Structure 1
């Protein structure tokens, strides 16, 4: 990854700015000490005020950067995950998720379909005009039954992708909405498709914030076949 791409990432940019302001805070702290030692109390007071301002901005940017962990930049259509399914028994599936960074995760789902959900963050007009893209974070994967009555009574499986106890931008927006005035809205988006044996699916997220799920050609043919065909 080149520097131009790296610096477009919100987390990296915010943490770099926080580091710069932290250095400025230290410089101002040294200046305050020098002026106090020289008996220049008024000048030291102004430097102390500037030091506190830099410190407050450092904490704000570092906190925002930390909260953005797990979110990714969203282009015109960003690849989210590839899903492979293998049947274990009727309405019981072994599912492998392959992420764009090369990592994988294997889970088991119950039902006739899989459903994936994401949390999407969109910015207000000034940020959009500046070209700042929306952000997203995968929230959960679950099994889904064709029959609504069975959905209410049959065993359900839900895989949570959030990290317990981790500070998150969504929590920050809920608790302190005035801290993030440029955030327009935070909402959920989901997509689901039928599960078939040896099925392969791709999931992407459009710039509008909509999740899109697509089967490959072989999987699409299996989905169209009657049961037992």
Structure 2
């Protein structure tokens, strides 16, 4: 059951809702003509509600496609740095399934942010694991005053223009009670010339990073980490 992608379960639910909804909305039934006339508005209303719920569920399924399943510590990607000037770096980010890309970052440390989605009953009974999506990469300063006034650098890492799970839950919360959205998992470490990090997400939805080689471990020790 855990090998089935979460969006397939949600898409199946959308289909299960849509089929009877369309039947109620478009069907005429085989009752007596007078009874059919009396029940037709009720059938249409029930069908309309089921079709609307199926549409919301289909939007949720489309949004879940962007996310990655969590069952163990999941490797997210690697991050390497080269320094141009003081507090100015070029970060090369290689996320799993994507081509490496370079991003200019200002500051003393990097920060990678992700959104994690956990499920409530009855979705847990279907074996749906937590899922996550990497959302942004940014630079940060050690000095809070410089963080407030310094040059900011933030890069959006979302690739697909699909509906956001959080906005769907806020708008259709009464229908999507099995979705539990957690806003916020982030990892940050110093930006050092020549440093390389490997990034992971644990099963509880915590983003963390480790040095990717012995040289990076030595650089972190030299910088007091």
CA contact (8 A) 2:116 2:183 kept: yes
The equivalent of 2:216 in structure 1 is 219
Q: How does 1:178-193 map to 2 (within 5 A)?
A: 178-193=174-189
CA contact (8 A) 1:35 1:41 kept: no
Q: Deviation at 1:114?
A: 0.5
In the aligned structure 1, how far is the partner of 2:161 from the partner of 2:96? 25
In the aligned structure 1, how far is the partner of 2:55 from the partner of 2:161? 20
- Give the 3-state SS of the residue equivalent to 2:187 in structure 1: strand
Q: TM-score, normalised by structure 1?
A: 0.78
Unmatched 5+ stretches in structure 1: none
The equivalent of 2:5 in structure 1 is 9
In the aligned structure 1, how far is the partner of 2:11 from the partner of 2:34? 33
RMSD: 3.3
The equivalent of 1:124 in structure 2 is 120
Structure 2 CA distance for partners of 1:41 and 1:70, relative to 1, 3 Å:
farther
In the aligned structure 1, how far is the partner of 2:66 from the partner of 2:81? 25
Unmatched 5+ stretches in structure 2: none
The equivalent of 2:54 in structure 1 is 58
The equivalent of 1:159 in structure 2 is 155
Q: Deviation at 1:209?
A: 1.4
In the aligned structure 2, how far is the partner of 1:176 from the partner of 1:53? 13
CA contact (8 A) 2:139 2:154 kept: yes
Q: How many residues align?
A: 220
Structure 2 CA distance for partners of 1:226 and 1:25, relative to 1, 3 Å:
closer
The equivalent of 1:140 in structure 2 is 136
- Give the 3-state SS of the residue equivalent to 1:13 in structure 2: helix
1:104 to 92, 100, 103: 100
In the aligned structure 1, how far is the partner of 2:34 from the partner of 2:25? 14
Structure 2 CA distance for partners of 1:67 and 1:205, relative to 1, 3 Å:
same
In the aligned structure 2, how far is the partner of 1:72 from the partner of 1:149? 36
